[in-house]
A and B are shown apart, each in its own frame.
Chain A
Amino acid sequence: GIQVEQSPPDLILQEGANSTLRCNFSDSVNNLQWFHQNPWGQLINLFYIPSGTKQNGRLSATTVATERYSLLYISSSQTTDSGVYFCAVRTSGTYKYIFGTGTRLKVLA
């Protein structure tokens, strides 16, 4: 099956810093989503981005489907950005999203 790898596995930032999280996948995908799981366990969908670039406030994401990767950019990080960021991909012929192992982000005040 498709493999989804995220890097780095862990990241510690000072408040105000910028960061880039990466998601690599081993096969062609129909769709890709980014999720944030906060320290209390709540999962929130950030972006649905099978290709191209999207922005939402301080967050933006870019997916280059032909090269099988996606990037999540966090600018001017805040302590509330802490948590785990997951990318998840869906291949054709299935409804199932396969999740990566996540990047655990900690933003220090």
Chain B
Amino acid sequence: DAGVIQSPRHEVTEMGQEVTLRCKPISGHNSLFWYRQTMMRGLELLIYFNNNVPIDDSGMPEDRFSAKMPNASFSTLKIQPSEPRDSAVYFCASTFRGDPDNEQFFGPGTRLTVL
């Protein structure tokens, strides 16, 4: 299996632009997590999906952030409009059986820079 796939790996954009990050979980995994990592705040869970349904989105920082999972093999995290403070590495992780305590497999991350 190719593991969790994220695209793009690097994104540089200007303030105010829309940014879309993409994630393909491991085939057969039915839970997906989006995390954000910054120097100031460390690793934070943004949103958790189980069977394509958002279960916990309490970590989504504000309305500018939205996440979707239209099917079991694809998820997007969108920021509109983007701001410099959104600069971070965004990780997607997936796990099996809908249990957040199962081993989470992380993607390589997307490094976002908002100028």
A-side interface residues toward B, CB under 8 Å?
30-31, 33, 41-45, 48, 50, 86, 88, 90, 94-97, 99-102
Per-position binary interface string of chain B over residues 40-71, scored 1 when its CB falls under 8 Å from any chain A CB and 0 otherwise: 00111100100000011011000000000000
Closest 6 CB pairs of A and B: A43-B106, A99-B43, A95-B56, A45-B103, A95-B100, A31-B101
Give chain B residues whose Cβ lies under 8 Å from the Cβ of A42: 106, 108-109
Q: Number of B residues whose C-beta is below 8 Å from A?
A: 21
The number of residue pairs between A and B whose CB atoms lie closer than 8 Å in the complex comes to: 44
A45 touches B104 (CB 8 A): yes
Name the distance in Å between A72's Cβ and chain B's nearest Cβ.
16
Which of B43, B89, B103, B108: most chain A Cβ within 10 A?
A: B43
Question: Which residue of B is nearest A102, CB measured?
Answer: B42
Give chain B residues whose Cβ lies under 8 Å from the Cβ of A99: 42-44
A41 touches B42 (CB 8 A): no
User: 8 Å CB contacts to A: which residues of B62-94?
Assistant: 89, 91, 93
A94 touches B108 (CB 8 A): no
A95 touches B55 (CB 8 A): yes
